[in-house]
Amino acid sequence: MNDQQLLRYSRHILLDDIDIDGQEKFLAAHALIIGAGGLGSPVAMYLASAGVGRITLVDNDNVDLTNLQRQILHTSERVGQPKVSSGKTAMTQINPDIQVIALAERADEARLAQLISDADVVIDCSDNFATRQAINRTCVAHQVPLVSGAAIRFDGQISVFDARDASSPCYACLFPPDREFEEIACSTMGVFAPLVGIIGSMQAAEALKLIAGIGTSLSGFLLMLDARSMEWTRIGVARDTACLVCGKHDRA
Ligand SMILES: [Zn+2]
């Protein structure tokens, strides 16, 4: 690290759990963020500000006026731009030190495999069940840790699925892909603006912890937030040996 970097990251370096070593790990890491919306916004901004050296941001949407109430990566001037371009602008303004790869596409499974196999951590900030399942399948196959978050109305949830750990459940252990779930979208149901900030910031925290190997992750637990009462519920999630996704994979 040069003098500018030592200054920029000094408040992380001061933390014993991070120090120079942890900061070097951030700088050397590649994080893949899927979705540049409400959750993706704080994730992208914090990973950029913390100095994650390479960040790939994937989203095929353009910035819309209805996004600005909660998607703090974007601005009124950038309405109409691809979200990943707007996101890259915001991230490089915060930290010109890092490399941001902006992919304005909807990644299919083959593309996900390509992107995920090259990532140290994947942060799922997508907004639909099919994408979440595809991301999970690929993370299990390539043994890449996944930080998963969701937010709708006043309800948020977050967990970590770490396929490197044989005891860790995967997303499909918790939400089996063959079960029917009611797909609810922000566009019809609404979402409380700071809720995506709370959950997204926690996703960023879990991603940084995984990169630097700090503390213990949320793997094996699901945290659920009711923002109306600001009450958290933490439930244990066990790996399902009959899981359609990770049940078939023998892990060391
Ligand atoms: Zn599973």
Residue listed under structure tokens 């023998």: 250
Q: Could you tell me the distance, in angstroms and rounded to a whole number, from the CA of residue 95 to the centre of ligand 1?
A: 37
In the structure, what pLDDT confidence band is assigned to residue 252 with cuts at 50, 70 and 90? very low
User: What pLDDT, in 10s, does the model give residues 215-229?
Assistant: 999 999 999 999 999
Q: How long is the chain?
A: 252
Q: Could you tell me the distance, in angstroms and rounded to a whole number, from the CA of residue 249 to the centre of ligand 1?
A: 9
pLDDT at 250 over 80: no
**What's the number of domains the chain is made of?**
1
Q: Could you tell me the distance, in angstroms and rounded to a whole number, from the CA of residue 137 to the centre of ligand 1?
A: 9
Q: Could you tell me the distance, in angstroms and rounded to a whole number, from the CA of residue 146 to the centre of ligand 1?
A: 12
CA angle 177, 178, 179 (to 5 degrees): 95
Q: Could you tell me the distance, in angstroms and rounded to a whole number, from the CA of residue 163 to the centre of ligand 1?
A: 9
Above pLDDT 70, what percent of the chain? 96
Q: Could you tell me the distance, in angstroms and rounded to a whole number, from the CA of residue 220 to the centre of ligand 1?
A: 11
Q: Region 35-40: what's the mean pLDDT?
A: 98
Compute CA distances 165 → 117, 174, 251, whole Å: 17, 16, 8
Choose among 223, 36, 202: nearest CA to 126.
36
Average pLDDT, the chain: 95
Q: Could you tell me the distance, in angstroms and rounded to a whole number, from the CA of residue 245 to the centre of ligand 1?
A: 5
- Cβ contact 223:206 at 8 Å: no
Q: How many CA atoms lie within 13 A of 252 on its CB side?
A: 2
- CB atoms within 5 A of ion ligand 1 belong to 170, 172-173, 243, 245-246
Q: Could you tell me the distance, in angstroms and rounded to a whole number, from the CA of residue 171 to the centre of ligand 1?
A: 6
Compute CA distances 33 → 55, 227, 243, whole Å: 7, 24, 25
pTM, rounded to two decimals:
0.96
User: For residue 8, what is the domain's CATH number?
Assistant: 3.40.50.720
- The two three-digit tokens of residue 108, written as one number: 């299919």
Determine the structural domain holding residue 191 and report its residue range: 3-248
Q: Could you tell me the distance, in angstroms and rounded to a whole number, from the CA of residue 222 to the centre of ligand 1?
A: 14
Q: Could you tell me the distance, in angstroms and rounded to a whole number, from the CA of residue 228 to the centre of ligand 1?
A: 31
User: What pLDDT, in 10s, does the model give residues 150-200?
Assistant: 999 999 999 999 999 999 999 999 999 887 776 766 677 899 999 999 999
In the structure, what pLDDT confidence band is assigned to residue 246 with cuts at 50, 70 and 90? very high
Q: What is the per-residue pLDDT for 188?
A: 78
User: What pLDDT, in 10s, does the model give residues 59-104?
Assistant: 999 999 999 999 999 999 999 999 999 999 999 999 999 999 999 9
